[in-house]
Amino acid sequence: MNDTVNIKELNEKIEKESAFVDMITMEINKVIVGQRHLIDSLLIGLLTDGHVLLEGVPGLAKTLAVNTLATTIDAKFSRIQFTPDLLPADLIGTMIYSQKKEQFEVKKGPVFANFILADEINRSPAKVQSALLEAMQEKQVTIGANTYKLERPFMVLATQNPIEQEGTYPLPEAQVDRFMLKVIIDYPSRDEEQLIVRENIAQEFPVANTILTTENILKARDIVKEVYMDEKIERYILDIVFSSRYPEKHGLEKYANMIQYGGSPRASINLAMGSKAFAFIKRRGYVIPEDVRAVCHDVMRHRIGLTYEAEAENITTVDIITDILNTVEVP
């Protein structure tokens, strides 16, 4: 009985505290037509201190969506266009010699902001991509002999074109794993595209308003952690992740030779955090299996390595994740 009361109280608290989610969504929807899944994914990353990787062909409003999200929050925003000739110093900053003071001074790079839009991240070689690694994982940057803490919240939103496109470098596994979600963006529907065309040829293009501060976001992150997750849901998450590592032990023998490596412990952590954030977005104080299933593809798709056999048989990580979700028993 006591538990029931607590859940009821928690539910009421979450419903009250998550009211701003509808406000942010409304502001973003002024500018972005459709793309509900993309907006939800950006909010999940924002609420869980996670980084988001967006993949899709050029022209699907990836950059515009990130820009609009940053506009709704009173925070520092940097856009870095990744190119083949970009250097790590262009990203994190460097030491420059001041003739006036006769000493070296630190010139901080664009990574010192709250929201970093790493546009076309896979257009740069590994050396530049690895410069982001420390910032993403440790929330700090080392320039010369000194280490500098980054401001909170700090969130990297990276866009990449599909790897098949010319002049792209695949991201190293260690870096891909640092992204909480990898979201695949598809074309809008016919009606949505008609609305997009109408907005773009109108006299004035809509603009989102700033409605939140960074303090609001940090407070919301603490409340997301309060969302209740039952032990059965925890076991369900572990079953999903362990099925990607040892498919033969979970009734998925056909994938035994298809999976090179499965989800890391980071996958389990991010599945749990993502499920809590999804419940929060849906204004609920507890996690249900549907929340786990809703975020599972985006959390897992970049964390499963495929063998040559899988590629030869055109098996994708999406196929494997869908099969895992259909096989693992739902609590």
What domains lie within the chain, and their CATH numbers? 12-218 (3.40.50.300), 228-327 (1.10.8.80)
- 205 vs 30, 32, 67, CA distance in Å? 9, 11, 14
- Distance, in Å, from the CA atom of 81 to the CA atom of 93, rounded to the nearest integer, reads 15
pLDDT tens string, the chain, 331 residues long: the values are 345 547 788 888 888 888 888 888 888 888 888 778 888 898 899 899 889 998 877 777 777 888 888 888 888 888 888 888 888 888 888 888 778 877 787 788 888 988 888 888 888 877 787 778 888 888 888 887 788 888 888 989 888 877 656 667 777 777 788 899 998 888 888 888 888 888 788 777 778 888 888 888 888 888 888 888 888 999 999 999 999 888 888 788 888 888 888 888 989 999 999 999 999 998 888 899 999 999 999 999 988 888 888 888 888 888 889 988 998 888 8
> In the prediction, which pLDDT does 166 show?
62
pLDDT of 239? 92
Which pLDDT score is estimated for 171? 77
**DSSP class per residue in 66-78:** HHHHHHHEES-EE
For residue 5, the model assigns a pLDDT of 47
pLDDT tens, residue by residue, 308-325: 888 888 888 888 899 889
Helix, strand, coil % in the chain, rounded to nearest 5: 50, 20, 30
pLDDT tens, position by position, 198-238? 878 877 777 888 888 888 888 888 888 888 888 899 999 99
pLDDT of residue 278: 93
Rounded distance, CA 327 to CA 310, Å?
19
The CA distance from 242 to 255, in Å, is: 13
Amino acid at 316: T
pLDDT for 331: 82
